Amino acid sequence: MSARTLPAAAFSRTVLGSGPGLALAHGAGSSVVGTYGPILDGLAAHHTVVGIDYPGSGDTPRSTAPLQLDDLADQLVAAAVAEGLETFALSGYSLGGPVAIRAAARHPERVTALVLTATFPQVDNRLALAATVWRKLAESGDRELLAEYLTMMALGADALQVMPDEQLQQAIGFTAASIAEGTPEHAALAPQADVRDDLPHIEVPTLVISTTQDWFTSTRQHHQLAETIPGARLVEIHTGHLPMVERPEEWQKLITEFLGRHRA
């Protein structure tokens, strides 16, 4: 059905639920469960959910070569097809946004809808700097320092300000324990991920979820996506880069209600 030949599905994956297909592309330094965990059951109540773990995440071995956006996009589609899904919606979060966009551009016959959260069409100067610091901290092996940096950058100002010190330290410890081994490669890919040329050719219903207190991906980038993808709709969620932590129920509702209105 796809115009391109798919590779063998080689990445570890999470499969849940039943119903229309929904393929998930997670964020850098994370995994399917790390990104979508708090809303996985809610998504699976309405869909057959298939999510891949990039190299160095979940049970997928770490890559010895630089990651390529096309490879991740093809693996996302290959995993969904391997699970029996001929067509499916795509949800991409953060780095998973360019992965999902590229998958929709390379395999348009497969894709029925697109949801993009806290993501970007290409890196701006702030994200380029943030990704460089992220990569260097990951390469240093100082997981606690990296966790402190990620906590500062990823939580919204409101959520961070009201967090008691004990809870803040717990959050830092949890982040340190959950950092993916492939984080350096993920962070190195982000500045190379440029999908601007793909955007005008997206022909499926698209929802852009703008995280309004995001220090990694700016609202300017979110609006650029919505304004360039034909017919895309933009909605706001008042969080930092982590809607799954700050407002998981609201995030899930935005996704499921949009997909419910645009079933194939």
pLDDT in tens, 150-176: 999 999 999 999 999 999 999 999 999
Q: What is the pLDDT of residues 90-126, one digit of tens each?
A: 999 999 999 999 999 999 999 999 999 999 999 999 9
Please check whether residues 120 and 136 belong to one and the same domain: no
Please check whether residues 146 and 116 belong to one and the same domain: no
Q: What is the pLDDT of residue 263?
A: 80
Residue 147 belongs to what domain range? 126-178
State the DSSP H helix or E strand holding residue 95, giving kind and residue range, or none if neither: none
Tell me the CA distances in angstroms from 228 to 108, 206, 223, one per residue in order: 17, 11, 8
The three-state secondary structure class of 59 is coil
In the block, tokens 């499926």 appear at: 204
Confidence of residue 264 (pLDDT cuts 50, 70, 90): low
- What Rg value do the Cα atoms of the chain yield, rounded? 17
In the block, tokens 């030949």 appear at: 5
Q: For residue 149, count other CB atoms closer than 10 A to its CB.
A: 18
Q: What is the pLDDT of residues 181-218, one digit of tens each?
A: 999 999 999 999 999 999 999 999 999 999 999 999 99
Please check whether residues 102 and 233 belong to one and the same domain: yes
The three-state secondary structure class of 156 is coil
pTM as predicted: 0.96
Q: For residue 263, count other CB atoms closer than 10 A to its CB.
A: 12
The C-alpha atoms of residue 55 and residue 181 are separated, in whole angstroms, by 9
User: Domains in the chain: how many in total?
Assistant: 2
Please check whether residues 102 and 50 belong to one and the same domain: yes
Please check whether residues 107 and 208 belong to one and the same domain: yes
Please check whether residues 91 and 212 belong to one and the same domain: yes
Q: What is the pLDDT of residue 4?
A: 82
